[in-house]
Structure 1
Amino acid sequence: MGQVEPLRKMGRQTSPKSSSKDAQSLAIRRASATQVTPTAAALGEDGFIMVESEQVLSYHRSGLDAASLRRLQQGHMRPSLFADLHGYRVEQAREVVWRAIKQAQAEGDRCLLIIHGKAGAGYTDDSGDIRGAGQALLKSHVSHWLQQVGEVLAFTSALPKDGGTGAVYVLLKNSRKTR
């Protein structure tokens, strides 16, 4: 075998190692580290109900046709954006959910996937005590918040391949951009 020479770079462009979905998720996570927007902060806790970790979530606004809801439940409306809430505290997760909805609308997307997980190890309160161990804290909050956002037409637990009861498909109203 002869002498080996390295290839010269001739204006080649290499693709990034991460996928565009990873880049979108990273962008959402980075944006969540900034201040809470007044609108996201307005997502209140009134009427908050804790749900079970394996409970199937399903919600739709009146007026949504049954066919659209069925397509969402069966995973036929593929999400073009996703937000993974693993590792976030409740306040951080609220901001990530809000930003994901706003980003999807800005890009003209109608369906997104929010991965909230099923149950956690709990959280440490101000006194240092662990609270909520084994409860589906983020899942419960996500369900509660999504019902408060006017742009959300429906949400339902995802198919097992997309996270099952640890994630939800969210259907948004058509944004003005796509009309």
Structure 2
Amino acid sequence: MAGRRLGADEEALWARVRATVRALPGRRSAESATAAPPSLPAPRPPRVAAPATAPVASFPTRAPGHTLDGGWDRRLASGVVAPDRTIDLHGHTLSSAHAALDRGVAQAIAHGDRVILLVTGKPPRPDSHRPHARGAIRASIEDWLRLSRHAGAIAAIRSAHPRHGGSGALYVILRRPRATNS
């Protein structure tokens, strides 16, 4: 890789650095460090980001805090919160699960629910030797919710407590509806 020569200000800076360098025991002396300054690598062209295909709504998926206070996270983790609605996606294909999720979230928002228990089924075990893919619905849930028409109404997604399905279910916490002043 071909380097470039240092400019006058870079040479002066390099001289100041060389003056502060001391050789480690058993290493080259400071005089050898005062040899020619290193050549800097040629500058790289700037990277151009690929255009985004669709805007992605942002809401925290499993990180505590952010949009829920610590009290919410403690209550969810302890299993004290009772879901207002349950959406069970067992036995669905990907397309029917997506439609059922959209319908269920729309109904929950219309009804004023705050916590949805979303039953997806347990993700496949790493040691599973099944010949077909499992856990496709579970793997798609967060993307579906982020890109859905309801993304702005979702405050957070959290793992469910074992009494509500554990790793086979998720809590979808909806934002409080805004009061309209008319």
* Gap runs ≥5 in structure 2: 1-53, 125-129
CA 132–70 in structure 1, closer or farther in 2 if over 3 Å, else same: farther
Q: What's the counterpart of residue 137 of structure 2?
A: 138
Q: What's the counterpart of residue 113 of structure 1?
A: 117
Looking at structure 2, the residues matched to 113 and 150 of structure 1 have their Cα atoms a distance apart, in angstroms, of: 18
Give the structure-2-normalised TM-score: 0.53
Counterpart residue type for residue 121 of structure 2: G
Q: What SS does the aligned partner of 1:79 have?
A: coil
Looking at structure 1, the residues matched to 123 and 159 of structure 2 have their Cα atoms a distance apart, in angstroms, of: 15
Looking at structure 2, the residues matched to 150 and 132 of structure 1 have their Cα atoms a distance apart, in angstroms, of: 38
Looking at structure 1, the residues matched to 65 and 99 of structure 2 have their Cα atoms a distance apart, in angstroms, of: 23
Which entry has the higher C-alpha Rg, 1 or 2?
2
Looking at structure 2, the residues matched to 178 and 132 of structure 1 have their Cα atoms a distance apart, in angstroms, of: 53
Q: What SS does the aligned partner of 1:86 have?
A: coil
Give the structure-1-normalised TM-score: 0.54
Counterpart residue type for residue 167 of structure 1: A
Q: What's the counterpart of residue 170 of structure 2?
A: 168
Identity %: 34
Question: Which has the bigger relative contact order, CA under 8 A and spacing at least 6?
Answer: 1
CA 82–135 in structure 1, closer or farther in 2 if over 3 Å, else same: same
Q: Is the 8 A contact 1:69 1:154 kept in 2?
A: no
* Gap runs ≥5 in structure 1: 1-43, 47-56, 121-130
> 2:66 matched to 1:62?
yes
Looking at structure 2, the residues matched to 175 and 132 of structure 1 have their Cα atoms a distance apart, in angstroms, of: 45
Q: Is the 8 A contact 1:60 1:153 kept in 2?
A: no
Q: What's the counterpart of residue 85 of structure 1?
A: 89
Q: What's the counterpart of residue 156 of structure 1?
A: 158
How many residue pairs match? The answer is: 115
